Amino acid sequence: MPPEDDAGRVHCRLDELLERRGITLTRLSEMVGVSVVNLSVLKNDRARAIRFSTLTAICDALDCSVGELLQVRPG
Amino acid sequence: MVGSPIAIALTAALLLAVVAIPVLLIIIAMRGGRHMPKIVALVSYAVMVVVCGASVVAAITLLSGAAVEVTVPITPVEPYLPAGVTLEPATSATIHSGGMDQATLVVSGLPLATRLVMLAALLIAAATAIAVCVVVIRLARSVMSGNPFAVGTAALIATGWILLIGGVSASLVGQIGDVMACYDLFEYTGGTAPESWNPAGGFAGPGWPQPAGFNLTIPWWPLGGALVLALIAGVFRYGEQLQRDSEGLV
């Protein structure tokens, strides 16, 4: 099992992607069917895991790739 | 008094309550059990109050030296009839072997040592029951607060040990107290009897039983209870793991 601390190295660029596309978190929540609370957790890098279904829905809604949404910071 | 209408009515009401309460709880549980934790907690509180009250009353009775009911083990006495007496059996059932191996008596004047041993058994049993009730209440509260694994596996395993050690020791100490009471009651240093009276096989037949001696029986139910608690602790450990894994999942 990988170390738990490594989860904190994943940075979510949801904020930048939303701003660039002029979409609010509430609107994205309606589009992907994920609660605003959970999207906020993801946006603020407090998420420790993400479902493939959530990832796919966000990438579809924002028309981006997984690499554009998530970045792994150097350890 | 067993045959009186009031006694029959009271017995019937008690039996109905004893049957109805578990049935009611099962029905509530099968309907989703939303109120089940609250009911379980209330029942546990009630059990604690009854155990505490009954223990205090029994302890005062024992310490004061007042009359108490004891069930003591005796050397088995075969059912017998006095010489010359015959009975017409009601059915074809016959006794092949065995006998009456315990006596339930209301006694007073037991020595302090015996009463203290009986009190110790009572207090151990009460403390064990209260410890189990406390953990049940904590479980019910954690379910009501939406965090069913809050009690933790350590508390459950500790309760399992308390149940095992408390249950076994309460039973063993209780049996020792009963044997001590039996010796206190039936042992004799001498006596008198008519010249012509010489019962074969001691006085047990004519109605003065002999103590059975130390023949302690280890109860198995505390081990079963402790194993069930250990199993629940294992389930909780798995639940905690799942809960931890799902934290921060979006």
Q: Please list every residue in chain A whose beta carbon sits closer than 8 Å to the beta carbon of residue B244.
A: none
Structure-block tokens of residue B85: 């007496």
Distance CA B151, CA B135 (A): 8
CA distance B20 to B26: 10
Structure token digits, residue B237:
């450990």
Chain A interface disruption, residue of B241, B243, B250, most A CBs within 10 A? B250
Which residue is closest to A55 within chain B, CA to CA?
Answer: B250
Distance from CA of B158 to the nearest CA of A (A): 29
* CB contacts, 8 Å: B248 with chain A: 7, 41, 46-49
Higher-scoring residue by pLDDT: B193, B236: B236
Q: Where are the domains of chain B?
A: 35-77+101-188+204-246
CB count within 10 Å of CB B119 equals: 19
Structure tokens at B2: 């067993």
Q: Which residues in chain B are contacts of A34 at CB distance < 8 A?
A: 250
A59 and A7 Cβ atoms separated by less than 8 Å: no
Distance CA B80, CA B87 (A): 11
Report the pLDDT value the prediction gives residue B18, as an integer from 0 to 100: 79
Residue B2: its pLDDT value, please?
45
C-alpha span between B217 and B77 (Å, rounded): 20
For residue B208 the two structure tokens come to: 């003065």
A60: confidence class by pLDDT, cuts 50, 70, 90: very high
CATH C-level class of A4-72: mainly alpha
Q: Which residues pair with B108 in a beta bridge?
A: none
Structure tokens at B219: 């109860």
Query: Is B250 within 8 Å of A7 when comparing Cβ atoms?
Result: no
pLDDT tier at B166 (50, 70, 90 boundaries)?
A: very high
Confidence of residue B38 (pLDDT cuts 50, 70, 90): confident
Percent of chain B at pLDDT > 70 equals: 94
Q: Is pLDDT larger for residue B159 or for residue B197?
A: B159
Residues of chain A in contact with residue B245, where contact means CB-CB under 8 angstroms, are 49
String of DSSP letters for B122-191? HHHHHHHHHHHHHHHHHHHHHHHTT-TTTT-HHHHHHHHHHHHHHHHHHHHHHHHHHHHHHHHHH--S--
Give the 3-state secondary structure of residue B233.
helix
Work out the mean pLDDT of chain B and round it to a whole number: 86
Interface of B with A in 190-249 (CB under 8 A): 245-249
Query: Hey, where are the domains in chain A?
Result: 4-72
Q: What is the pLDDT of residues B113-149, one digit of tens each?
A: 999 999 999 999 999 999 999 998 998 898 888 888 8
Q: Hey, are the CB atoms on B248 and A46 less than 8 Å from each other?
A: yes
Answer yes or no: do B248 and A41 touch at CB < 8 A: yes
Does residue B19 have a pLDDT over 90?
A: no
pLDDT class of B1 with cuts at 50, 70, 90 = very low
Residue B98 CA from chain centroid, whole number: 25
The residue type found at B60 is I
Helix (H, G, I), strand (E, B) or coil at B223: helix
Q: How close B143 comes to chain A (CA, Å)?
A: 24
Helices B153-186 and B221-246: crossing angle in degrees, nearest 10, is: 170
A39 with B250: Cβ contact below 8 A: yes
- The helix/strand/coil state of A18 is helix
**Is B69's Cβ below 8 Å from some Cβ in A?**
no
**B151/chain A closest Cα distance in angstroms:** 24
pLDDT digits (tens, 9 = 90+) for A6-40: 667 899 999 999 999 999 999 999 999 999 999 99
Residues of chain A found within 8 Å of residue B250, distances taken between Cβ atoms: 34, 38-39, 41-42, 47, 49-51, 54
Nearest CA in chain A to B246: A49
